[in-house]
Amino acid sequence: MDLFRSVLYLPASNARAIEKARGLDCDAVILDLEDAVAPDAKTEARAAAVEALSAGGFRPRVGVRVNGLDTAWGADDLTALSGLQPAFVVAPKIESPEAVRAVADRLSDGVAMWIMIETPLAVLRLDRIAGAGAPLAALMLGLNDFGEQMNLVPGPDRDPLKPWLAALVAAARGHGLLAIDGVVNATDDADQLEAECRQGRAFGFDGKSLIHPNQIAAANAAFSPSPEEVARAREIVAAFAAAGAEGKGAIRVGYRMVERLHLDAAHRLLARHDAASTPPQDTPI
């Protein structure tokens, strides 16, 4: 099972950050050609991303966030990636299934597509966008742009965002996609990061977008099953495997009744636990 608990953005133009990222213990890195790169550095950043992908040697999976096709750089970004094999390409500010397909048609075979949901129009069209089909694999929440356009004042508990957090996860689950929560801008606020990671896990997100390596450990911990969850899952699996449980749709485990849907959930959680417990290995790119 591939985990995406921690997804770290870094500017593709920052050679030092790229070199450091090769050995980081995040689950994925995104070489950013969009927001993290100034307009006059776009060409340089694109060349650096191609060089980094060609050189390989990354422990995390590697994605690239391109510029939108409605910009002066988006088409050239996708052309430059043609023939290369990043694990995924991130398309920003997607607002329709047609926009998904316009990018998807330019991707190399085998490259997954992740998209940014970061405008009011996008959240109103979530079901249609999420159902656009392969190679779409993940929805990422872009909270900075969304909050600005909505004129929100999120606050530490993100109360005004909660309907949209839930909506994005529901769309992702409904269409078999990953759901990746938005970033915490305050890189030195460990309490806020921990709180948002716990909240994102509670809402059902698979992982968290990050903007600094010091955020990786908190995300990995929050989006990995806890010892209590693992123990409970093992108890359910053992109970259904015990004599007398065969063929039953519901059994008593401890002081509560559990059904086979809980057994399926227990198996998924244990698979996540096994994946999180496996030492990372270098990936081809």
> Which residues sit in the known binding site for Mg(2+)?
118, 145
* E strand or H helix that includes residue 64: strand 61-65
Write the DSSP string, 88-134: EEEE-S--SHHHHHHHHTTSPTT-EEEEEE-SHHHHHTHHHHHTT-T
187's tokens: 């890189």
Beta bridge partners, 63, equal 30, 88
Beta bridge partners, 178, equal 138
CA 218/CA 40 separation, integer angstroms: 34
Instruction: Point out the annotated binding site.
Output: 65, 118, 145
Which among 121, 123, 160, 155 has a CA at the least distance from the CA of 141?
A: 123
Beta bridge partners, 62, equal 29
Instruction: Point out the annotated binding site for substrate.
Output: 65, 118
Asked if 103 and 75 count as a contact pair (C-beta separation under 8 A), the reply is no
User: Do strands 250-253 and 256-259 pair parallel, antiparallel, or not at all (unpaired)?
Assistant: antiparallel
* Alpha-carbon separation of residue 179 from 196, 203, 226, 268 (angstroms): 14, 10, 20, 16
